[in-house]
């Protein structure tokens, strides 16, 4: 429905840290032309916690304008408030995006029944296809396999981005959800094992830099060329690791700038990569011939 490789796109900022919508269009076009089947706008990598609703809606609009029918545009519309998530999802739908992604409510740590109710209520408020996003390292709450399995019965909840690192949980989700329920890796370093467990692809950070290689890795595995897919995965692993040397999206923004697309700084409380971190990233990018 959305593609195999979706990029969790960074949000470009101007010098004054206002959103650079023109550069967002430039970046989205670049990604679609370099291995990405679609983009996720205003997710964690897009610094969603420090974007206003108006900024998010404008980003959905300008990215959809430039991507058009060349790729999918998924709107990050998750909040830890069900009402706010519903309101933003409705605005995203009015823009004409292709789907929405809902992160597990963070900080308030609802129980699994509360998570089920939250996602179901948001999904029922829209006709958009919904991807769940489980990233307990950031939200402090794991979306358990049984909850995902139950939510997969909601007609327009079509998949999950899994970033728990729990492969037993991931395998259970795959084994007990419908055949057409999309299981995306939410971590670049876990893409190969998630694909091996039946995943459909990855919602990637590293695809900002090596989108074509990641696309080839996914395609090789799906075509039965496991040896070549693993070879690509292992080759890219140092890049996957260095991009998470510190909190995402600090390193990937530095990497995109090294590639020649100036996406600006980060909004506080995030900070720019330091010289040592940039040096480590640059060495790996040079070794991979990414620069």
- Per-residue CA distances from 5 to 81, 272, 276 (Å): 29, 27, 30
* Phi, then psi, of 200 in degrees rounded to 5: -95, -15
Please tell me the CATH superfamily of domain 5-225, with its number: Aldolase class I (3.20.20.70)
Q: Which residues of the chain fall short of a pLDDT of 70?
A: none
Q: Hunting for tokens 């290689």 — which residue is that?
A: 213
Predicted local distance difference test score (pLDDT) of residue 111: 98
Residue 77: which residues within 8 A CB-CB, separation 6 or more? 42, 56, 85, 88, 89, 92, 100, 101, 102, 122
pLDDT score for 56 = 98
Catalytic residues: 133, 161
Provide the strand spans (E) within the chain.
5-8, 38-41, 72-76, 99-103, 130-134, 157-162, 182-185, 201-204
**pLDDT, tens digit, for every residue of 18-57?**
999 999 999 999 999 999 999 999 999 999 999 999 999 9
Report, in this order, helix, strand and coil percent for the chain, each rounded to 5.
Answer: 50, 15, 40
What pLDDT is attached to residue 141? 97
pLDDT, tens digit, 9 for 90 and up, residues 129-146 = 999 999 999 999 999 999
Task: Provide the pLDDT for residue 1.
Answer: 85
For the chain, give every domain's residue range.
5-225
Candidates 182, 174, 173, 99; CA nearest to 142 is 173
Q: Is the dihedral of CA 253, 51, 184, 180 positive or negative?
A: negative
Backbone angles phi, psi at 135, to 5 degrees: -140, 75
Q: What is the pTM of this model?
A: 0.97
Residue 224 — φ and ψ, nearest 5°? 90, 0
């Amino acid at each position: 429905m959305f593609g195999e490789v979706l990029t969790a796109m960074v949000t470009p900022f101007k010098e004054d840290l206002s959103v650079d919508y023109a550069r967002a269009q430039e970046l989205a076009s670049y990604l679609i032309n370099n291995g990405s089947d679609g983009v996720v706008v205003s997710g964690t990598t897009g610094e969603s916690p420090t974007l206003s609703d108006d900024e998010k809606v404008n980003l959905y609009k300008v990215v959809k304008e430039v991507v058009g029918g060349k790729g999918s545009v998924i709107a990050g519309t998750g909040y830890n408030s069900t009402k706010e998530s519903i309101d933003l999802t409705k605005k995203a739908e009015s823009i004409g995006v292709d789907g929405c992604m809902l992160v597990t409510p963070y900080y308030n740590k609802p129980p699994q029944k509360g998570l089920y109710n939250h996602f179901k209520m948001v999904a029922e408020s829209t006709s958009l296809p919904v991807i769940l996003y489980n990233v307990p390292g950031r939200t402090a709450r794991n979306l358990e396999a049984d909850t995902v399995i139950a939510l997969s019965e909601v007609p327009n909840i079509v998949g999950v981005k899994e970033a728990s690192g729990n492969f037993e949980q991931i395998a259970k989700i795959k084994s007990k959800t419908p055949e057409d329920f999309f299981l995306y890796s939410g971590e670049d370093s876990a893409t190969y094992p998630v694909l091996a467990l039946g995943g459909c692809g990855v919602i990637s950070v590293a695809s900002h830099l090596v989108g074509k290689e990641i696309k080839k890795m996914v395609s090789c595995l799906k075509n039965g060329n496991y040896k070549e897919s693993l070879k690509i995965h292992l080759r890219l692993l140092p890049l996957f690791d260095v991009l998470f040397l510190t909190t995402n999206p600090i390193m990937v923004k530095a990497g995109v700038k090294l590639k020649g697309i100036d996406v600006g700084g980060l909004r506080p409380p995030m900070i720019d990569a330091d010289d040592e971190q940039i040096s480590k990233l640059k060495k790996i990018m040079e070794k991979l011939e990414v620069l």
